[in-house]
Amino acid sequence: MVPGLLVNDMAIKWRQGALPLMKKLLLKMPGVRRVSIANRHSGQLRTLRDSGLFDAEWYVRHYGLTGLKDPAEHYLVYGGFAGLNPNPLFHSEWYLERYPDVRAAGINPLVHYVRHGAAGLKPNPIFDSKWYFDQYADVEASGINPLLHYLTAGAQEGRNPGPLFDAKWYAQRYLGGRADETNPLAHYLDSGAHCGNNPHPVFDSAWYVKTHMRTGQDPATALAYFLETGWARGDGPSPLFDREWYLQEYPDVAASGQDPLYHYVAHGRAEGRFASRSPHFFRSAAELRSFLSALVPALESTRVTVALPLGSSAEEVAVAADSISKSSSAVIYRSSIQSLVGVQECSYPGAPYVAKINNTLALAGTRYVISGDRIIHDEEHAFLSEEGAELKYHAARRLADEKLRLDMHLRQGAWVDKGINVMHEYSNNYFHFMAETLPRLLLAEEAGIDKDVPILLESGLHENMTALLDIVNDGRRPILILERGGAHHVREMYYPSDVSIVVDAYYGGPVARKSALDVGRIRHAASLCKDRFQVGDAPARRKIYACRRGNTRQLLNQAELEAKLVTLGFEIVAVDGMSVETQIRIFSEAEIIIAPTGAQLTNIIWCAPGTKVIALASDHPSHQLYLWELLGQVSGANVRIVLGPRAFVRDDKYSVHDDYYVDVEQILTAIN
C-alpha cells in the first residue's frame, strides 16, 4: 500500500461522511475496543499529547474532521488503527504493517513510536531514525525524538531524513528551493513519488522501476522497495553509481568493510568522492580548457578526469619568468619569519613565500591548481619520491613519470577574477585548519595584497571553521565560496606557500618524522581569536576531560575513565556542537586537560601557559604523537602522552585509527 494514496483515499472517505460507519467497523477490528479513555488510555493519551508529534490542526483539516471534541483522543482510539496519520510524516498503516506486534498488542502506532522510536524504528518507509542520529550527533545528544526534530527544525535546516533522500537537492529541483515553506519529504511522500520525482541525485526512480521491479509493482514505491529489499540484494540505485568501481577507486572504503553505497551517501559525496568512472578523460590542460569553454550552462556539473605532470608553485613562477611571454606570474613576497618547529631538520616547507599565478584552474577544497600544462601542489611535489607519504585528496592518484590524475567537476561560468587561495584538503578538520590553513592566511596578509582581493574558500565548511577564519580575517577581506570539488578559472590567484606540514604516513617510517608546525603563526592566530572574545589570563581552575565521540580511534573504556574522573572533580566535555567562543572560554580556564587524541585536543592552543595536558592514544607505532607536543608549544601547555594497548579491531593500512584501551590507574598517576 502506498502511503500517499492511503492518506488521500482515507481523507475522501472521512469527508464523505463515513465516520459513523468507520467507527462501527473499528470497534470490530482485533485489538480495537471502546474503552474509558480517562482510565485505560490516560497514559497513552498523555504520551501522545506530550510528544509534539500529534498535529491536531493538521489532523482535523486533512481528514475533514471538524467538530471533533478531542482530536488526540480520536486518533488514539480510532484514527491510528484506521490508517489515519497524526502528521504528514508518520504513516500509521505502514507502521502497523511493518511492526505487526504493535497492532497485536493494541498499542496506538504513534504512541509506540514515541516510546520506542529512538531505538531505530521508522515512522514511514523513507525516514530512518537510526540514520538521522548517526548523521547528526547533536540531535542524538539533545535527546529529542528524531522525527520531531526533523519536523520542527531539521527539514528547514536542510538535513536529510534518510540515506537516499537529499532534502536540499530535492527542494532545489522540485520545490524551487523552498524547503522552509514545504517539507521536502512530506512533498515526496504525498505527491512527488507518484509524479516520478527522484529523491536523490544518485537514485533514478524510473530506471530502478524498469531494471529491478516486477511488472505491476507501483512505481511510486521505488525508493521504499529499494530501501527495504533492493539495497540488501545488491541492486544499483541508478547507472550513476558503480559499486565495484567505488571500492576499487577508494581502497580505504574497501578496507573499512562499509557498504560502498552507504559510504557514498553518508560521507563520500560530501567529501567530493565520485560515484562512478568519469566519462571524460584529458591528457593536456589545453584539451581540458577547450572542453570547459564549450560547456553549456546546466543544473548539474560535468565530471572530468585529467592526467598531467606534477609541479610546484615555485617551479611554475620560475618557468613564467624564463618564458618568452614574460608572464606576470611571480613570487611577490618572501618572508624572513620562519617559526617552523619539528622533531628534526625539515627540508620542507622552506622559507615562506606568496606566489601570484595567473590564469589557473583551482580545484575547490584542495591546494591543487592547474597552471600551464601541469598540476601544481607544493606538498605532493616535495614528497613525490618519499616512501610512505600518502596523497591527502581522495580524488587524486599518482601515475608513472611523475604525473598525477585528478577527478573534478566542471561548470560553465565558474570564473573568478582574483583571489587568495587558502583552501586545503583537510579544511574541515579542526587541527589542520588551525595548524595549516590559518597560518597560510596570515602569510598572505604579510604580503600586503590589496584589501579588495577576496579569500577563496570551498563550500561545505563547518561553521566553526568559517568563524575562526572570520576572526583572523577580521572583516578586512571579502570571502568568495567556491563549489567543493569543482574547478574554477582564476585570472589572478595569490598562492601562499605551506608553512606547516603534516605528512599522512599510515605505515610510519622516516617520513613520519618530517611533520612540523609553524608555531609562531599558529600562536598569532590563536591570540587573535582569544582577543576577539576578550579572554584574558583568568585563574585556571577547571579540570577537563575532553571526550571523543565517533566510530574511529574509540577509547573502549572511556566510560570507566569518565566515571573515575568525575569523582576527582573533572568536567566531562563533549565539544561536538560547541561554538568556537565556548571552546575557547572552557579550555582557557583549565588547569588540567585529559583527552584522547583527536580534533577536540586541538583546544590546547587556548590554554594558559603551564596547563597540564594528558593526551591518550593507542600504542600503534605509526602515530605522530609529537605533533601534540608541538601544538602545546603554541600556548605553553605541558603535554604528556599516555599510551594504551590497541584492540586490533582493524589491522589494515588505516589501523593507526584502531580502537584501544587505557590503564585508568596510569592516568591517575599522571594526574598527580
Give residue 180's pLDDT: 66
571-573 sheet: strands from edge to edge: 571-573, 542-546, 590-596, 612-618, 638-644
CB 92 within 8 A of CB 85: yes
Whether residue 194 lies inside any domain: the answer is no
Nine-digit cell string for 141: 545528544
Q: Which of 83, 116, 149 is the last residue of a domain?
A: 116
Q: Give just the sign of the alpha carbon dihedral 231, 236, 237, 240.
A: positive
pLDDT confidence band for 24 (50 / 70 / 90): very low
Give residue 664's pLDDT: 95
How confident is the model over 602-617, as pLDDT tens digits? Answer: 999 999 999 999 999 9
Residues 321 and 387 in one domain: yes
Residues 555 and 640 in one domain: yes
Element (H, E) at 80: helix 80-82
Residues 488 and 357 in one domain: yes
Residues 481 and 586 in one domain: no
Residues 465 and 566 in one domain: no
Whether residue 193 lies inside any domain: the answer is no
How confident is the model over 168-210, as pLDDT tens digits? Answer: 999 988 988 676 678 999 999 999 999 999 999 999 999 999 9
| Proportion of the chain above pLDDT 70, given as a percent | 91
Angle between helices 463-473 and 519-532 (to 10 degrees): 90
Residues 331 and 460 in one domain: yes
Give every CB contact of residue 502 below 8 A, 6+ residues apart in sequence. 431, 432, 435, 436, 515, 517, 624, 627
CA distance 121 to 389: 44
CA distance 517 to 433: 12
Give residue 537's pLDDT: 66
Q: 590, 476, 584: which is closest to 539 by C-alpha?
A: 590
CB 502 within 8 A of CB 436: yes
Instruction: Please list, residue by residue across 48-57, b when 16 or more beta carbons sit within 10 angstroms of its beta carbon and e when fewer do.
Output: beebbbbbbe
Position with higher pLDDT, 41 vs 386:
386
One-letter amino acid of 231? W
Give residue 319's pLDDT: 61
CB 517 within 8 A of CB 630: yes
Residues 475 and 557 in one domain: no
Whether residue 625 lies inside any domain: the answer is yes
Is 531 a residue whose pLDDT tops 80?
A: yes
How confident is the model over 614-652, as pLDDT tens digits? Answer: 999 999 999 999 999 999 999 999 999 999 999 999 888
Nine-digit cell string for 560: 570507566
How confident is the model over 541-581, as pLDDT tens digits? Answer: 899 999 998 778 999 999 999 999 999 999 999 998 899 99
Whether residue 664 lies inside any domain: the answer is yes
Residues 572 and 488 in one domain: no
Q: What is the CATH number of the domain that holds 570?
A: 3.40.50.360
Give every CB contact of residue 136 below 8 A, 6+ residues apart in sequence. 154, 159
Is 11 a residue whose pLDDT tops 90?
A: no
CB 141 within 8 A of CB 149: no
Is 453 a residue whose pLDDT tops 90?
A: yes
How confident is the model over 51-88, as pLDDT tens digits? Answer: 999 999 999 999 998 888 899 999 999 999 999 999 99
CB 611 within 8 A of CB 632: no
Q: Which of 496, 522, 549 is the last residue of a domain?
A: 496
Long-range contacts of 325-334 (CB under 8 A, 24+ apart): 327/358, 328/356, 328/358, 329/355, 329/356, 329/357, 329/358, 329/371, 330/355, 330/356, 331/355, 331/356, 332/356, 332/447, 332/449, 332/494, 333/446, 333/447, 333/448
Element (H, E) at 567: helix 558-567
Q: How many other C-beta atoms are found inside a 10 Å radius of the C-beta of residue 313?
A: 28
Whether residue 136 lies inside any domain: the answer is no
Residues 31 and 83 in one domain: yes
CA distance 333 to 354: 5
CB 273 within 8 A of CB 395: yes
Give residue 633's pLDDT: 96
Q: Is there a cis peptide before residue 349, judged by omega within 30 degrees of 0?
A: yes
Q: Which of 99, 116, 133 is the last residue of a domain?
A: 116
Across 114-128, 383-397, 436-450, 526-540, the highest mean pLDDT is recorded for 436-450
Whether residue 195 lies inside any domain: the answer is no
Give every CB contact of residue 540 below 8 A, 6+ residues apart in sequence. 588, 589, 590, 591, 607, 608, 610, 611
Long-range contacts of 196-199 (CB under 8 A, 24+ apart): 197/170, 197/173, 198/173, 199/126, 199/164, 199/165, 199/166, 199/170, 199/223
Residues 472 and 595 in one domain: no
Query: Domain count of the chain?
Result: 3
Is 35 a residue whose pLDDT tops 50?
A: no
Max Cα distance, the chain (Å): 94
Tell me the β-bridge partners of 492: 358, 418
CA distance 526 to 471: 10
CA distance 479 to 256: 37
Average pLDDT, the chain: 88
Q: 193, 134, 194, 195: which is closest to 162 by C-alpha?
A: 134
How confident is the model over 334-371, as pLDDT tens digits? Answer: 998 888 998 888 889 999 999 999 999 999 999 999 99
Nine-digit cell string for 97: 504493517
Whether residue 511 lies inside any domain: the answer is no
pTM of structure: 0.72
One-letter amino acid of 435? A
Whether residue 262 lies inside any domain: the answer is no
Give residue 358's pLDDT: 94
CA distance 550 to 378: 32
Residues 546 and 475 in one domain: no
pLDDT confidence band for 26 (50 / 70 / 90): very low
Residues 556 and 487 in one domain: no
Nine-digit cell string for 342: 619539528
Q: For 177-309, where are the alpha helices, taking DSSP H only?
A: 184-187, 205-212, 222-225, 231-233, 243-249, 251-256, 260-263, 285-294
In 3-state terms the chain splits into helix, strand, coil percentages (rounded to 5) of 40, 15, 40
One-letter amino acid of 237? P
CB 546 within 8 A of CB 603: yes
CA distance 285 to 301: 19
pLDDT confidence band for 40 (50 / 70 / 90): low
What's the domain range around 412? 281-496
